[in-house]
């Protein structure tokens, strides 16, 4: 497949439409249009209604010949958006659940959006985000050509078991004919599928100053899966992400077909290697999680035989949605907006690590509580002890403002991690900190929030900080 020949739309992959299936398409599309008129997003309700009308609609609705599913613990929404953006940039029509409605209902909604009223597919490629626990309900009916897995790490105690259990769910649902695009630096992810599956691996090259022994709050793969001996690490990045080998039986991490080099400390440039081809790139966001996301996108495009120089140009143009990452300077002060997956220690640790690496004197506005806690739920707070809050003891962080329902739990965890209690400020509201944080002694303001409060908290904090800085400058 060249850069201009992604398979065209419309070859039906399932049973032919019957009246019930067509009714599901019509009613689902009507429900979606009605919700939009009412100012609602309608990301899963149309799919839920369509499934009520025709429970097998996911297997029946027409979709493109190229169907790509993106899954994993962290990064799947961003990778889905980046991959959809890449196909847009290449000139293809894309069906995608970009908003992250990644259960079966949301996936059905996105596929119904991609067909005409007669049920005819109107897109060239479908890029579908899928919750990893939904695999048994989705993959057998959807029959994707490609499954991309970003990583499988420790997730919310409330909803997930050990990542090896999640890997078992995924492998049980993956067809032997599906091509897998997997993270070579994650032993659990790299084990997905069966010997019948074609596997393509992506990774991020070592920087040279990374550890050779695991450390931190969570390590989920430290024993050889073949002989149960303790693994040795060529380099260790976080959790069980890195490159390892077994000194007893020779088992080791797979080599990456596509990998991204560390950034040159002087120029910021990286080398993107696609099998034997190399291109030089500069990324919009250098956080390690985003570099892995970009590597996954590049590996998928290379699998589809997009030319290396085109992949390089496309990935350079990609940036995460501003709700997930934004970096702006107002009146000489940087405002860095960063989203992390709340309740997930591994994901939060990566956000904390990135915060610590940002140069300059920083103030952090920390709001990683779940919005459901405010209304009708009580979350198990044990996850904060799976997260490496120690990164926030970095001396360049002048103050940390903590807001939200679990603010006292967060403040205690920060103090236990070595953060000077005099630098910890507790406020009741998640947005109040933006109104009172001092602006005259800081180089960077970090707006750090969860995915579940990105709108109600992340947006509001960003607006308030921007407005206050502009008013101070005038």
pLDDT tens digits along 112-149? 999 999 999 999 999 999 999 999 999 999 999 999 99
* Strands of 277-281's sheet in order across: 94-96, 125-129, 66-71, 146-149, 179-183, 199-204, 258-260, 270-274, 277-281
Joined tokens for residue 250: 């020779």
User: What CA–CA distance (Å, rounded) separates 185 from 253?
Assistant: 7
- Which residues on neighbouring strands pair with residue 450, listed in sequence order? 340
pLDDT at 5 over 50: no
- 3 state SS of 324: coil
Average confidence (pLDDT) over 212-221? 81
In the chain, where the domains are located: 65-96+126-205+256-317, 325-473
Residue indicated by tokens 């950034």: 263
User: What CA–CA distance (Å, rounded) separates 267 from 242?
Assistant: 25
- Residue-wise pLDDT for 396-424, tens only, equals 999 999 988 889 999 999 999 999 999 99
pLDDT at 287 over 90: no
Joined tokens for residue 63: 């979709």
pLDDT at 345 over 60: yes
Confidence of residue 34 (pLDDT cuts 50, 70, 90): confident
Does residue 234 or residue 14 have the better pLDDT?
A: 234
- CATH superfamily, with its number, for domain 65-96+126-205+256-317: Mur-like, catalytic domain (3.40.1190.10)
Residue indicated by tokens 């997905």: 192
DSSP letters spanning 24-71: HHHHHHHHHHHHHHTT---SSHHHHHHHHH-TTHHHHS---SEEEEEE
What was the pLDDT predicted at 405? 84
pTM above 0.85, yes or no: yes
Confidence of residue 64 (pLDDT cuts 50, 70, 90): very high
Q: How far is CA 254 from CA 121, 148, 165, 187, 201, in A?
A: 38, 16, 21, 8, 8
pLDDT at 3 over 50: no
Q: How far is CA 382 from CA 49, 105, 154, 198, 445, in A?
A: 37, 30, 13, 38, 28
Exposed/middle/buried for residue 271 (C-beta within 10 Å: 0-12, 13-18, 19+): middle
What was the pLDDT predicted at 173? 97
Q: CA angle at residue 414 from 413 to 417, to 5 degrees?
A: 85
Which CATH number applies to 325-473: 3.60.70.12, 2.40.50.140, 2.60.40.10, 3.90.190.20?
A: 3.90.190.20
Contact 428, 347 (CB under 8 A): no
User: What CA–CA distance (Å, rounded) separates 404 from 431?
Assistant: 9
User: What CA–CA distance (Å, rounded) separates 356 from 341?
Assistant: 18
* Strands of 333-340's sheet in order across: 325-330, 333-340, 444-450, 362-367, 397-403, 424-427
Does residue 468 or residue 15 have the better pLDDT?
A: 468
Does residue 159 or residue 65 have the better pLDDT?
A: 65
Largest CA distance in the chain: 67
User: What CA–CA distance (Å, rounded) separates 104 from 293?
Assistant: 23
**Of 442, 82, 145, nearest to 293 (Cα)?**
82
**Of 11, 242, 265, nearest to 121 (Cα)?**
11
Contact 364, 400 (CB under 8 A): yes
Average confidence (pLDDT) over 257-271? 95
Confidence of residue 42 (pLDDT cuts 50, 70, 90): low
User: What CA–CA distance (Å, rounded) separates 438 from 401?
Assistant: 11
Alpha helix positions (H), 339-444 = 345-357, 407-416, 432-436
Q: What is the CA radius of gyration of the chain?
A: 23
Mean pLDDT of the chain: 90
Q: How far is CA 262 from CA 127, 234, 251, in A?
A: 28, 16, 25
Does residue 72 or residue 8 have the better pLDDT?
A: 72
What was the pLDDT predicted at 9? 40
- Residue-wise pLDDT for 306-339, tens only, equals 999 999 999 999 887 777 888 999 999 999 999 9
Average confidence (pLDDT) over 439-462? 92
- Residue-wise pLDDT for 353-392, tens only, equals 999 999 999 999 999 875 555 555 556 788 898 899 999 9
Joined tokens for residue 291: 């570099």
């Amino acid at each position: 497949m060249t850069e201009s020949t992604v398979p065209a739309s419309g070859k039906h992959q399932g049973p032919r439409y019957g009246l019930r299936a067509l009714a599901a398409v019509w009613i689902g599309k009507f429900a979606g249009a009605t919700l939009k008129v009412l100012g609602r997003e309608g990301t899963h309700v149309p799919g839920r209604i369509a499934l009520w009308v025709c429970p097998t609609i996911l297997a029946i609705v027409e979709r493109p010949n190229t169907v790509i599913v993106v899954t994993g613990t962290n990064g799947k929404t961003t990778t889905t958006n980046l991959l959809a953006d890449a196909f847009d940039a290449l000139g293809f029509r894309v069906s995608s659940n970009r908003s992250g409605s990644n259960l079966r209902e949301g996936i059905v909604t996105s596929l119904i959006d991609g067909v005409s009223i007669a049920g005819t597919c109107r897109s060239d490629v479908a890029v579908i985000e899928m919750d990893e626990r939904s695999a048994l309900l989705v993959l057998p009916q959807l029959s994707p050509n490609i499954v991309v897995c970003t990583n499988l790490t420790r997730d919310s105690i409330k909803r997930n078991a050990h990542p090896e259990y999640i890997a078992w769910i995924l492998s049980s649902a993956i067809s032997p004919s599906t091509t897998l695009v997997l993270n070579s630096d994650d032993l659990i992810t790299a084990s997905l599928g069966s010997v019948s599956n074609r596997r393509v691996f992506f990774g991020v090259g070592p920087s040279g100053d990374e550890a050779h022994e695991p450390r931190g709050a969570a390590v989920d793969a430290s024993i050889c899966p073949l002989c149960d001996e303790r693994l040795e690490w060529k380099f260790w990045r976080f959790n069980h992400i890195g490159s390892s080998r077994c000194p007893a039986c020779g088992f080791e991490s797979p080599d990456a077909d596509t990998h991204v080099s560390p950034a040159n400390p002087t120029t910021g440039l990286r080398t993107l290697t696609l099998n034997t081809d190399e291109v030089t790139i500069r990324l919009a966001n250098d956080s390690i999680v985003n570099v892995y996301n970009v590597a996954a996108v590049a590996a998928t495009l290379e699998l589809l035989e997009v030319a290396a120089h085109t992949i390089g140009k496309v990935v350079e143009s990609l940036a995460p949605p501003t709700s997930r990452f934004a970096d702006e300077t107002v009146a000489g002060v940087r405002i860095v907006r960063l989203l992390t997956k709340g309740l997930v220690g591994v994901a939060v640790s990566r956000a904390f690590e990135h915060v610590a690496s940002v140069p300059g004197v920083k103030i952090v506005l920390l709001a990683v509580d779940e919005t459901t806690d405010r209304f009708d739920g009580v979350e198990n707070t044990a996850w904060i002890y799976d997260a490496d809050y120690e990164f926030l003891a970095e001396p360049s962080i002048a103050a940390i403002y903590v807001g939200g329902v679990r603010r006292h739990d967060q403040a205690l965890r920060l103090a236990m991690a070595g953060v000077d209690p005099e630098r910890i400020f507790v406020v009741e509201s998640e947005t109040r900190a933006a109104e009172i944080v001092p602006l005259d002694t800081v180089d960077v303001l970090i707006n750090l929030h969860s995915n579940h409060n990105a709108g109600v908290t992340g947006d509001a904090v960003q607006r308030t900080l921007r407005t206050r800085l502009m008013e101070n400058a005038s």
